[in-house]
Structure 1
Amino acid sequence: MHPGHRAVTGFVTVILALLVLIVGLAAQWPLWAWPVAAAVLGAGTTASLVWERRHRPLIPPEFLDEPDRPIPPVDRWECVVRDVALPSHWDDYDFLFSATVRWVPQHPASDPLVVNAGALAVDAVLQRARQVTERFEPHRCSLVQHRLHAELATMLPDAGGLVTAMAENVRLRLDDADRERLAKLATVRKDEAVWEHERKYEQNKRAYLGEDVLKTPGSAVVWWLAKNDEQVDKTVADIGLLAELASAAHDQPVPADFRRFVPGLAAQPPAPEPEEEREPAQDRAAPRTPDERVDQLLESIGITEDDPRFALFIGRLAEDVKLAGETEMAEALEHRHARLARENGAPDGSGPDAAPADGGDGPDEAQQPGDQHP
């Protein structure tokens, strides 16, 4: 038993005995209470002495050679890496990685001249960091840094199993020039997205107005009436304006049914056809004389006076036209046939190719049965 513990126990026992005596006298305890109080006080003192004896060290401190020898410090293996370029998900945009790499050799007894444990630990940490950074876009730098804190917070062995490594104080940043470029690209993408939405909105609005609202003057009137369902008189008064608007939207003239609603157009004739759609005047003009009609007919057929069959064709054609009742044209054809006969040496028109004016049988009627009109 330690001497100091025995002294403290005796002092406390005396103090407690005095307190019990004072309390008993003041409370006027009966005679049987005094032996009980003395027994409780003695039992407490005995228990304290027994507990101290049981918890004494096997070898007292005074018998130890170095009772307060300090614990030797634990060796720490670490190094700092700064601004190591790690690839991001975008080409030509790298993260700059900095951290404190800590490691523990798996075989502490190995010769440090043979195995560079620090290089293996740094390479293992960088490989783990690379697998994280190459999946993220460069503008997510802050998010990737927190992800690396979690990924590199545990000791994991390298590929050869020679060291286990981790990283602390991870810092990740971008080059200043890359950060400025990313800010400009983000601004351009946002502006482009806004412009694209505005363009689509404008296209949809134009399509709605041109293909639905202003498709016809009638659809424009119905749309305006739906907008002003309580102002029918106003809608009727605006029919002319709506008709002009719908026609202008499709580059067309105001339809005839709506011209009476447009001031200034009710008394005007319809617009003439475009020049390119009208045929030339000389093409539509009919021949005025029989000779002109004959010339037009021969031109359309494509036969000329130089053709040896021309005289025969004229004679037969004169007969057919006369039978059809075209007397004037028949006479023009006969006159043309007689002129050709005179030019060929038959002044009286009785040459071998001449056609009788009265439609009778002429020399040409003696042809073979197989001959046909040209």
Structure 2
Amino acid sequence: MRIRLPSLLLVALCGLAPAALGNLLHWSVWLWGFMSTVTASGSLLLVLTFLGSGHPRADPYGTEEPEPPAAPTEQPYQETRVIDAALPSAVDGYDFLFSATVWWRPAPDHTGRSDGASPALAVSAVVSRALEIVCRKQPGRASFARFFLEGELSVPLPDRSGRVMALAADATLTLAPADRERLRKLSDLRKDEEIWEYERQHERNKRRYLGDDVLQSAGSAVVWWLARHENEIEKAVDMIGPLAQIAAAANDEEVPELFRHLLVPPVGARSEATVGGPLWDAPGPGAEPFDREAEVGAADRLVLLMAAVGVKPDMDEYTVLVHRVVTSLEMAELYEAADEIRRALLPMSDQDDGAGEGEGPDADTGEGDTASRPFRDASHQPHRPTAPRAQNEDGDES
């Protein structure tokens, strides 16, 4: 509500009239001032009452601004649904399943012209916008793509014909269960292959390091071992032979002559108890080099075993253990190994005693001596080990 210029002039005239009249009639200043105030206030109150009553005066000069036209009332949004619409992803053969609630209403230029095609236009507009977004997304990123899709589709935009305004809410983006399982398996296989590739590369690096650096020669192998065992100098000396053998095998070469005396003793050697010499005899001059591919005999293996556990030839346990091994082999019908161990490791007196135990009532016929061991009958009993002879304090056998 605005007070026009004529109304202000009326209020001013009413306020000045008592002052002019009081001046002519010689009223006191207080009297005509009070009267001017009352008349001005009364006229202003009348003007405000008249303007507020809804009947404004007509502007004779036409200076009043026209009121703007009322805005047209917008139609409310209507709802429709999209359920499991297949949208292609960035990988061929893996489609997203898109579902959403579509809200639409006629465009402002087409208000009052909505028909049965409007919901279809709204759904088409929303699905087209979703397709442009998800066609560049990987199928394994469906959850991430869904959040991006919700933000883009929440803005109302017109369809291609401009007839409806459409937006989407509650959008979901998933994959078919079979596609999810395939992607999970592919992901596991890819991760396993990466791990296998790293392990293979690590193994190649280790082989290259050992072959080209550590085992390049016997000396480099010894230096490498000593660097890892700095406080085991004496053991490093014992490891020179094995390391030289390993280095030669790694390079497909023979062990250098300088280190051959430090290698594992020859296989064909006999123990001290048999030949009276050292545990292994070194090959004599002019002898052929030791063939490490030759088969190791049962007696040699037994000697190595007893030496490893600390059983020496001068101990009673040595003879007892050999007897037990021979007996066990004969009971298992392994007569060749038993004979080899008996001939190599048992004294002749023990062999004779063992042979005498097997003689029966028909020993005079000599059939038991000429019969071959593998073809002896079922009644034949294996040799029994003789008990170690007890010794008196003077060392004489009792």
> Normalized against structure 2, the TM-score is what?
0.47
> Normalized against structure 1, the TM-score is what?
0.50
Higher gyration radius (CA): 1
